[in-house]
Amino acid sequence: MTQEKAKYRVLRLSFIGNQLLDEGAEVEYDGEPGSALEPLNDAAEAAKKKAMKKHGHSAYDVKPATVNVLDGGSNEVSSGAISDDLASLRQQYEDLFNEKPGNMKAETLKERIADKRKELGV
């Protein structure tokens, strides 16, 4: 028996698989959904609820691990607000730069993330 894949609609311009994906695009995603993804099926809704409960957030500001764009691609970085949570900042940095941030302070991470997003136009 095959488990249903979670499907989402991109809510805002997002950087996915080394490309910008426009609002309204649909993706299949197997990680923790971020705030830029709207559930389109039961599997996606369950993943959103699980992520929210796991991270104790009222908003879905957790960052995803992998994603499959329905036309191909992987590794999503959503273009939402920059979090104040150090773990979230570290994940955002790693998603954007494809490297671990090392021992950077939260303010440094925020600045570099903001600069990279500005450079990418997200």
The tens digit of pLDDT for each residue in 75-92 reads 444 444 555 578 888 888
Does 93 score more than 90 pLDDT? Answer: no
* Within-domain flag for 61: yes
* Within-domain flag for 46: yes
* Within-domain flag for 105: yes
Q: What is the mean pLDDT of residues 26-45?
A: 84
pTM for this entry: 0.45
Q: What is the mean pLDDT of residues 30-51?
A: 85
Boundaries of domain holding 92: 86-120
* Strand pairing category for 14-16 and 7-10: unpaired
Residue with tokens 């996915």: 16
* Within-domain flag for 36: yes
Res. 63 pLDDT band, cuts 50 70 90: very low
- For 5, the token pair is 């894949």
* Within-domain flag for 68: yes
- The answer on 112 and 57 residing in a single domain is no
* Within-domain flag for 1: no
* Strand pairing category for 7-10 and 26-29: antiparallel
Is residue 68 within 8 A of residue 27, CB to CB? The reply is yes
Total domains present in the chain: 2
